[in-house]
Amino acid sequence: MKKLFLFILIPFFSFAQVIIDQSIKESGPYKVGDIITIEYRLNPGNLDLNYFWLRYVYHNNAIEMIPNSTEFFQGASTQVAYYHWNNYNFRSNPNIGVGELLKQYQSGGWSYSNDTNWNVAQLTIQRTDASISGLIASQKYKIKDFTNFDDMHKLSFADATTRNNTQVSSIGSTVLWLDLNNVSRLVSSAKFKVAFPAGYDITKHTIQIMETNEQGVVDWTTNPQPVAVGPLDSAGEFLTDKVKKNNVLKRICFICVSCVLQICFRRYDT
């Protein structure tokens, strides 16, 4: 049965002066381990915007941001910035509509709480030659092995000014939340994990899964090819469906490239 990818469009623009939307670039269907690209598009209406920033949160058990994947698309006459804070979640002002992104920011009634399931990020752009408009930025995310992808990526609040330094009156969105529905999970998948100290960037490492001989070692003289190769995510994990039950691959080595780590073991499942 085919698995479908859906993202829910929820109208919250309420005749706002400025509209910021998010969307998925790639078409489905999707499975765990796929890379998706989230794009951010700005409609300034009839305003000449020269400054805009947006803050949002995403569920770090559902999707993993690919390091250094943020791209900006407003030309050379811009100053841009990207900020990121791990393990926080946004709490909106309950007295203001969640889709009123500028009023949420101006209200001061919002807050952030410690939450290891969520990360916070911000995009900032200033343009001198023309109005900020259209595709402003994109980021890549890996779909993780998770069970609930509802509201996995949510816009929190935003701010913008025009070229004569006038504050806009309202910012809204027609796509405030992104969902992933019916994501295909890997069948007979195997998860490998590397322990690492707090604060260390484990994502700069990749791992190789190699088959071994009867003695439990890799015979490098035969120029063997990896069974699987991939990057470690921020949890130090790598998920693959290349190591399955009921196949001939019984002895494997888990090699963390540039970690100076090699672990070999035998599979006893059938």
Per the prediction, the chain carries an average pLDDT of: 82
The reported pLDDT for the residue numbered 223 is 82
The reported pLDDT for the residue numbered 256 is 59
24-64, pLDDT tens digit by residue?
898 878 888 889 999 999 999 999 999 999 999 999 999 99
Residue 100 vs residue 227, higher pLDDT: 100
Residue 254 vs residue 238, higher pLDDT: 238
Q: What is the DSSP letter of 17?
A: S
The reported pLDDT for the residue numbered 248 is 44
The pTM score is 0.72
Share of the chain above pLDDT 70, in %: 80
Q: Is the peptide bond before 29 cis (omega within 30 degrees of 0)?
A: yes
The reported pLDDT for the residue numbered 104 is 95
The reported pLDDT for the residue numbered 65 is 93
The reported pLDDT for the residue numbered 178 is 92
Residue 92 vs residue 249, higher pLDDT: 92
Q: Quick check: 22 and 153 in contact, CB under 8 A?
A: yes
């001061």: which residue's tokens?
A: 108
Q: Quick check: 264 and 253 in contact, CB under 8 A?
A: yes
Decide if pLDDT at 7 tops 70. no
* Burial (Cβ within 10 Å: 0-12, 13-18, ≥19) of residue 164: exposed
Closest by Cα among 5, 31, 27 to 143: 31
- Cα angle: 17, vertex 85, 258; to 5 degrees: 130
172-218, pLDDT tens digit by residue?
999 999 988 778 876 546 677 777 787 788 787 787 777 777 776 77
122-161, pLDDT tens digit by residue?
999 999 999 999 999 999 999 988 888 889 999 999 999 9
Residue 139 structure tokens: 């980021």
Decide if pLDDT at 267 tops 80. no
Residues 6+ apart with CB under 8 A from 189: 32, 145, 239, 240, 241
Beta strands in 98-236, from DSSP E residues, in sequence order? 111-127, 134-143, 153-162, 171-172, 177-178, 190-193, 206-211, 228-231
Q: What is the dihedral of CA 259, 265, 269, 270, to 10 degrees?
A: 100
Mean pLDDT of the 240-248 span: 58
Share of the chain above pLDDT 90, in %: 50
